[in-house]
Amino acid sequence: MNRPYRADPILQPDNRRFTLHPIRYPHLWKAYKTAQSMFWTAEDVLDATADTSDWNDILSEEDRRFISTMLTWLTYSQRGIGTASADLIARFCAEVQIPEARCFYGFQIMAINIHKEAYTAILLDLVPEASDRNNSVDALKSEYVLTSKREWMSQWVMDRHKPFPVRLLALAVAQSILSSTATASLFWLCTRAHLPAVAQAHQLATQDQALHATFSVLLYRSLHDEVNLIWVKEIILAAVHLEQFFWDSLVRSQSHDALNITTMDNYIEHVADRLLDALNLPPMFSKANPFPFVPTTAIVGRAIPETPTYPTSPTQSVDTYDSDL
Protein backbone atom coordinates (compact mmCIF):
# COMPACT_ATOMS: atom_id res chain seq x y z
CA MET A 1 0.00 0.00 0.00
CA ASN A 2 1.26 3.44 -0.85
CA ARG A 3 1.93 5.87 1.94
CA PRO A 4 3.42 9.37 2.11
CA TYR A 5 7.16 9.59 2.58
CA ARG A 6 8.17 10.65 6.08
CA ALA A 7 11.04 13.14 6.11
CA ASP A 8 14.10 11.50 7.64
CA PRO A 9 15.78 12.97 10.74
CA ILE A 10 19.00 13.58 8.79
CA LEU A 11 17.02 16.03 6.62
CA GLN A 12 15.65 17.95 9.60
CA PRO A 13 17.50 20.95 11.07
CA ASP A 14 18.60 20.35 14.65
CA ASN A 15 18.56 23.65 16.50
CA ARG A 16 20.09 21.97 19.53
CA ARG A 17 23.28 21.07 17.70
CA PHE A 18 25.52 24.09 17.34
CA THR A 19 28.91 22.35 17.13
CA LEU A 20 30.40 19.48 15.18
CA HIS A 21 31.39 17.52 18.28
CA PRO A 22 30.39 15.21 19.78
CA ILE A 23 30.17 13.14 16.60
CA ARG A 24 26.77 11.46 16.34
CA TYR A 25 27.28 9.57 13.07
CA PRO A 26 30.75 8.01 13.51
CA HIS A 27 30.46 5.84 10.38
CA LEU A 28 29.93 8.95 8.23
CA TRP A 29 32.68 10.81 10.06
CA LYS A 30 35.06 7.91 9.44
CA ALA A 31 34.32 8.15 5.71
CA TYR A 32 35.14 11.87 5.82
CA LYS A 33 38.44 11.24 7.60
CA THR A 34 39.24 8.55 5.03
CA ALA A 35 38.62 11.07 2.25
CA GLN A 36 40.96 13.49 4.00
CA SER A 37 43.71 10.88 4.17
CA MET A 38 43.38 10.23 0.42
CA PHE A 39 43.67 13.89 -0.58
CA TRP A 40 45.71 14.68 -3.70
CA THR A 41 45.95 17.48 -6.25
CA ALA A 42 46.36 17.61 -10.01
CA GLU A 43 49.95 18.76 -9.44
CA ASP A 44 50.71 15.43 -7.72
CA VAL A 45 50.21 13.57 -11.00
CA LEU A 46 53.35 12.67 -12.92
CA ASP A 47 54.61 14.87 -15.71
CA ALA A 48 52.97 13.83 -18.97
CA THR A 49 56.19 13.84 -21.01
CA ALA A 50 56.41 10.04 -21.02
CA ASP A 51 52.72 9.83 -21.87
CA THR A 52 53.18 12.12 -24.85
CA SER A 53 56.05 9.95 -26.07
CA ASP A 54 53.97 6.78 -25.69
CA TRP A 55 51.04 8.48 -27.40
CA ASN A 56 53.05 9.54 -30.44
CA ASP A 57 55.49 6.64 -30.78
CA ILE A 58 53.91 3.47 -29.38
CA LEU A 59 50.13 3.58 -29.43
CA SER A 60 48.23 2.82 -32.60
CA GLU A 61 45.71 5.23 -34.08
CA GLU A 62 42.97 2.90 -32.86
CA ASP A 63 44.36 3.00 -29.31
CA ARG A 64 44.67 6.78 -29.38
CA ARG A 65 41.10 7.20 -30.56
CA PHE A 66 39.83 4.80 -27.92
CA ILE A 67 41.76 6.40 -25.04
CA SER A 68 40.83 9.89 -26.18
CA THR A 69 37.17 8.88 -26.06
CA MET A 70 37.54 7.43 -22.56
CA LEU A 71 39.33 10.53 -21.23
CA THR A 72 36.77 12.77 -22.89
CA TRP A 73 33.96 10.79 -21.31
CA LEU A 74 35.55 10.97 -17.85
CA THR A 75 35.90 14.74 -18.21
CA TYR A 76 32.49 15.26 -19.81
CA SER A 77 30.67 13.03 -17.33
CA GLN A 78 31.75 15.29 -14.47
CA ARG A 79 28.96 17.58 -15.65
CA GLY A 80 26.45 15.15 -14.19
CA ILE A 81 25.79 13.07 -17.30
CA GLY A 82 26.09 9.55 -15.97
CA THR A 83 27.84 10.47 -12.74
CA ALA A 84 27.74 13.03 -9.97
CA SER A 85 28.70 16.62 -10.78
CA ALA A 86 29.85 19.10 -8.16
CA ASP A 87 26.55 20.98 -8.55
CA LEU A 88 24.54 17.81 -7.97
CA ILE A 89 26.48 16.97 -4.80
CA ALA A 90 25.96 20.54 -3.60
CA ARG A 91 22.20 19.96 -3.92
CA PHE A 92 22.40 16.86 -1.74
CA CYS A 93 24.57 18.76 0.73
CA ALA A 94 21.92 21.46 1.01
CA GLU A 95 19.25 18.86 1.82
CA VAL A 96 21.20 16.79 4.34
CA GLN A 97 21.39 18.64 7.65
CA ILE A 98 23.85 16.58 9.69
CA PRO A 99 27.37 18.10 9.76
CA GLU A 100 29.18 14.76 9.40
CA ALA A 101 27.65 14.31 5.95
CA ARG A 102 28.17 17.93 5.00
CA CYS A 103 31.86 17.65 5.83
CA PHE A 104 32.16 14.70 3.45
CA TYR A 105 30.15 16.39 0.71
CA GLY A 106 32.37 19.47 0.89
CA PHE A 107 35.43 17.30 0.40
CA GLN A 108 33.72 15.35 -2.39
CA ILE A 109 32.98 18.55 -4.33
CA MET A 110 36.64 19.50 -4.10
CA ALA A 111 37.70 16.02 -5.25
CA ILE A 112 35.38 16.15 -8.28
CA ASN A 113 36.97 19.43 -9.35
CA ILE A 114 40.45 17.94 -8.92
CA HIS A 115 39.50 14.95 -11.07
CA LYS A 116 38.21 17.25 -13.77
CA GLU A 117 41.39 19.33 -13.64
CA ALA A 118 43.70 16.31 -13.79
CA TYR A 119 41.90 14.56 -16.65
CA THR A 120 41.58 17.80 -18.62
CA ALA A 121 45.28 18.63 -18.20
CA ILE A 122 46.29 15.19 -19.45
CA LEU A 123 43.87 15.39 -22.36
CA LEU A 124 45.34 18.77 -23.35
CA ASP A 125 48.84 17.26 -23.35
CA LEU A 126 47.87 14.20 -25.38
CA VAL A 127 45.44 15.90 -27.76
CA PRO A 128 46.76 19.47 -28.16
CA GLU A 129 44.53 20.36 -31.11
CA ALA A 130 41.21 21.81 -29.97
CA SER A 131 39.51 20.54 -33.11
CA ASP A 132 40.49 16.95 -32.27
CA ARG A 133 39.19 17.29 -28.71
CA ASN A 134 35.97 18.83 -29.99
CA ASN A 135 35.54 15.92 -32.38
CA SER A 136 35.70 13.50 -29.44
CA VAL A 137 33.09 15.50 -27.55
CA ASP A 138 30.85 15.72 -30.61
CA ALA A 139 31.17 11.98 -31.16
CA LEU A 140 30.05 11.33 -27.59
CA LYS A 141 27.16 13.77 -27.85
CA SER A 142 25.95 12.01 -30.97
CA GLU A 143 25.65 8.69 -29.13
CA TYR A 144 22.03 7.90 -28.39
CA VAL A 145 23.04 6.16 -25.17
CA LEU A 146 24.40 9.44 -23.81
CA THR A 147 20.93 10.93 -24.09
CA SER A 148 19.59 7.84 -22.34
CA LYS A 149 22.07 8.30 -19.49
CA ARG A 150 21.06 11.93 -19.13
CA GLU A 151 17.39 10.92 -19.03
CA TRP A 152 18.12 8.24 -16.41
CA MET A 153 19.90 10.81 -14.21
CA SER A 154 17.01 13.25 -14.64
CA GLN A 155 14.42 10.61 -13.80
CA TRP A 156 16.04 9.05 -10.74
CA VAL A 157 18.64 11.43 -9.28
CA MET A 158 17.70 14.99 -10.20
CA ASP A 159 13.91 14.91 -9.89
CA ARG A 160 13.15 16.70 -6.62
CA HIS A 161 9.67 15.19 -6.61
CA LYS A 162 11.25 11.80 -5.96
CA PRO A 163 11.61 10.92 -2.26
CA PHE A 164 15.09 11.48 -0.89
CA PRO A 165 15.83 7.75 -0.31
CA VAL A 166 15.10 7.04 -3.98
CA ARG A 167 17.37 9.84 -5.21
CA LEU A 168 20.16 8.87 -2.81
CA LEU A 169 19.98 5.24 -3.87
CA ALA A 170 20.05 6.27 -7.53
CA LEU A 171 23.07 8.47 -6.83
CA ALA A 172 24.93 5.46 -5.43
CA VAL A 173 23.93 3.48 -8.53
CA ALA A 174 25.19 6.22 -10.86
CA GLN A 175 28.46 6.56 -8.97
CA SER A 176 29.01 2.79 -9.03
CA ILE A 177 27.76 1.64 -12.42
CA LEU A 178 27.47 4.43 -14.97
CA SER A 179 31.22 4.97 -15.41
CA SER A 180 32.33 1.42 -14.70
CA THR A 181 33.35 0.69 -18.29
CA ALA A 182 35.66 3.71 -18.47
CA THR A 183 37.14 2.70 -15.14
CA ALA A 184 37.87 -0.85 -16.27
CA SER A 185 39.17 0.09 -19.72
CA LEU A 186 41.74 2.54 -18.38
CA PHE A 187 42.92 0.03 -15.77
CA TRP A 188 43.40 -2.40 -18.65
CA LEU A 189 45.54 0.28 -20.25
CA CYS A 190 47.68 0.41 -17.10
CA THR A 191 48.57 -3.27 -17.57
CA ARG A 192 50.25 -2.38 -20.85
CA ALA A 193 52.74 -0.09 -19.05
CA HIS A 194 51.88 2.89 -21.23
CA LEU A 195 50.80 6.42 -20.27
CA PRO A 196 52.04 6.51 -16.64
CA ALA A 197 50.44 9.89 -15.87
CA VAL A 198 47.07 8.67 -17.11
CA ALA A 199 47.48 5.52 -15.02
CA GLN A 200 48.38 7.46 -11.88
CA ALA A 201 45.58 10.01 -12.22
CA HIS A 202 43.07 7.26 -12.92
CA GLN A 203 44.20 5.21 -9.93
CA LEU A 204 43.79 8.20 -7.63
CA ALA A 205 40.47 9.35 -9.09
CA THR A 206 38.82 5.92 -9.05
CA GLN A 207 39.75 5.40 -5.40
CA ASP A 208 38.00 8.68 -4.62
CA GLN A 209 34.97 7.78 -6.72
CA ALA A 210 34.61 4.38 -5.05
CA LEU A 211 34.67 6.10 -1.66
CA HIS A 212 32.04 8.59 -2.85
CA ALA A 213 29.77 5.72 -3.90
CA THR A 214 30.44 3.95 -0.61
CA PHE A 215 29.48 7.10 1.29
CA SER A 216 26.18 7.27 -0.58
CA VAL A 217 25.54 3.69 0.54
CA LEU A 218 26.46 4.53 4.13
CA LEU A 219 24.12 7.50 4.17
CA TYR A 220 21.34 5.46 2.57
CA ARG A 221 21.74 2.77 5.23
CA SER A 222 21.43 5.48 7.88
CA LEU A 223 17.94 6.45 6.71
CA HIS A 224 14.80 5.38 8.55
CA ASP A 225 13.06 4.64 5.24
CA GLU A 226 14.42 2.29 2.61
CA VAL A 227 13.31 1.82 -0.97
CA ASN A 228 11.27 -1.26 -1.78
CA LEU A 229 13.45 -4.07 -3.15
CA ILE A 230 11.45 -4.17 -6.39
CA TRP A 231 12.32 -0.53 -7.08
CA VAL A 232 15.94 -1.07 -6.06
CA LYS A 233 16.27 -3.82 -8.64
CA GLU A 234 14.52 -1.78 -11.33
CA ILE A 235 16.83 1.20 -10.80
CA ILE A 236 19.96 -0.95 -10.80
CA LEU A 237 18.90 -3.08 -13.76
CA ALA A 238 18.18 0.00 -15.87
CA ALA A 239 21.64 1.38 -15.06
CA VAL A 240 23.31 -1.94 -15.89
CA HIS A 241 21.58 -2.09 -19.27
CA LEU A 242 22.53 1.53 -19.99
CA GLU A 243 26.19 0.93 -19.23
CA GLN A 244 26.23 -2.27 -21.28
CA PHE A 245 24.61 -0.42 -24.17
CA PHE A 246 27.14 2.39 -23.79
CA TRP A 247 30.05 -0.03 -24.03
CA ASP A 248 28.54 -1.95 -26.92
CA SER A 249 27.99 1.31 -28.85
CA LEU A 250 31.50 2.52 -28.08
CA VAL A 251 33.23 -0.69 -29.09
CA ARG A 252 31.26 -0.99 -32.30
CA SER A 253 32.00 2.60 -33.33
CA GLN A 254 35.66 2.45 -32.26
CA SER A 255 36.32 -1.04 -33.67
CA HIS A 256 38.32 -1.83 -30.53
CA ASP A 257 38.12 -5.50 -29.57
CA ALA A 258 40.82 -5.72 -26.90
CA LEU A 259 38.14 -5.74 -24.21
CA ASN A 260 35.51 -8.35 -25.01
CA ILE A 261 31.91 -7.09 -24.96
CA THR A 262 30.62 -10.14 -23.11
CA THR A 263 33.37 -9.92 -20.51
CA MET A 264 32.67 -6.22 -19.98
CA ASP A 265 28.98 -7.03 -19.55
CA ASN A 266 29.97 -9.48 -16.82
CA TYR A 267 32.12 -6.83 -15.17
CA ILE A 268 29.25 -4.32 -15.10
CA GLU A 269 27.02 -6.95 -13.52
CA HIS A 270 29.76 -7.72 -10.97
CA VAL A 271 29.87 -4.04 -10.00
CA ALA A 272 26.09 -4.09 -9.58
CA ASP A 273 26.37 -7.14 -7.32
CA ARG A 274 29.04 -5.36 -5.26
CA LEU A 275 26.67 -2.44 -4.81
CA LEU A 276 23.85 -4.75 -3.75
CA ASP A 277 26.17 -6.44 -1.26
CA ALA A 278 27.10 -3.03 0.18
CA LEU A 279 23.37 -2.36 0.55
CA ASN A 280 22.98 -5.68 2.42
CA LEU A 281 20.87 -7.04 -0.42
CA PRO A 282 21.20 -10.32 -2.37
CA PRO A 283 23.00 -10.31 -5.74
CA MET A 284 21.10 -10.09 -9.00
CA PHE A 285 23.72 -11.59 -11.31
CA SER A 286 26.21 -13.60 -9.18
CA LYS A 287 29.10 -12.58 -11.43
CA ALA A 288 32.74 -12.67 -10.33
CA ASN A 289 35.13 -9.91 -11.38
CA PRO A 290 36.47 -10.97 -14.80
CA PHE A 291 39.13 -8.24 -14.74
CA PRO A 292 41.88 -8.98 -12.19
CA PHE A 293 43.59 -5.73 -13.18
CA VAL A 294 40.79 -3.66 -11.61
CA PRO A 295 41.67 -3.20 -7.91
CA THR A 296 39.00 -3.74 -5.29
CA THR A 297 39.60 -0.18 -4.06
CA ALA A 298 38.13 1.08 -7.35
CA ILE A 299 34.74 -0.58 -6.80
CA VAL A 300 31.97 0.42 -4.40
CA GLY A 301 31.93 -1.29 -1.03
CA ARG A 302 35.48 -0.65 0.14
CA ALA A 303 35.84 -1.00 3.92
CA ILE A 304 32.29 -0.04 4.82
CA PRO A 305 32.12 0.38 8.61
CA GLU A 306 29.12 -1.09 10.36
CA THR A 307 26.21 1.33 10.42
CA PRO A 308 25.27 2.17 14.02
CA THR A 309 21.75 2.51 15.35
CA TYR A 310 20.06 5.80 14.69
CA PRO A 311 21.24 8.41 17.18
CA THR A 312 17.87 10.21 17.18
CA SER A 313 15.66 7.24 18.04
CA PRO A 314 17.70 4.04 18.37
CA THR A 315 14.69 1.84 19.13
CA GLN A 316 12.74 2.80 16.02
CA SER A 317 12.46 0.16 13.32
CA VAL A 318 13.35 0.74 9.69
CA ASP A 319 10.43 1.20 7.32
CA THR A 320 10.33 0.39 3.63
CA TYR A 321 9.27 3.12 1.25
CA ASP A 322 6.98 1.60 -1.36
CA SER A 323 5.25 4.26 -3.42
CA ASP A 324 4.36 4.99 -7.00
CA LEU A 325 7.69 6.29 -8.27
Model confidence pLDDT, tens digit, residues 31-71: 999 999 999 999 998 788 888 998 888 888 888 888 888 88
Q: For 118-126, what is the mean pLDDT? A: 88
pLDDT of res. 240: 97
CA dist., res. 60 & res. 141, Å (int): 24
pLDDT tens figures, 79-96: 545 566 788 888 889 999
- Given a cut of 80, whether residue 301 has pLDDT beyond it is no
Q: Is residue 77 part of a domain?
A: yes
pLDDT of res. 83: 63
Q: Is residue 264 part of a domain?
A: yes
Question: By percentage, how much of the chain surpasses pLDDT 70?
Answer: 81
Q: Is residue 324 part of a domain?
A: no
pLDDT of res. 69: 81
Q: Is residue 112 part of a domain?
A: yes
Q: Averaging pLDDT over each range in 73-87, 115-129, 308-322, which range is the top one? A: 115-129
Q: Which domain holds residue 260?
A: 25-311
Q: Is residue 317 part of a domain?
A: no
Identify the band that residue 16 occupies on the pLDDT scale cut at 50, 70 and 90: low
pLDDT tens figures, 224-263: 888 999 999 999 999 999 999 988 887 665 545 557 788 8
Query: Does 76 qualify as catalytic in the annotation?
Result: no
CATH code at position 267: 1.10.620.20
Q: Which of 119, 220, 310, 321 is catalytic?
A: 119
pLDDT of res. 239: 96
Q: Is residue 325 part of a domain?
A: no
pLDDT tens figures, 150-203: 889 999 998 988 999 999 999 999 999 998 998 898 888 877 768 889 989 999
Q: Is residue 4 part of a domain?
A: no
Identify the band that residue 22 occupies on the pLDDT scale cut at 50, 70 and 90: confident
The per-residue pLDDT of the chain, averaged, comes to 82
pTM value is 0.86
pLDDT of res. 139: 66
Q: Is residue 36 part of a domain?
A: yes
pLDDT of res. 310: 36
- Given a cut of 60, whether residue 324 has pLDDT beyond it is no
The total domain count for the chain is: 1
- Given a cut of 80, whether residue 143 has pLDDT beyond it is no
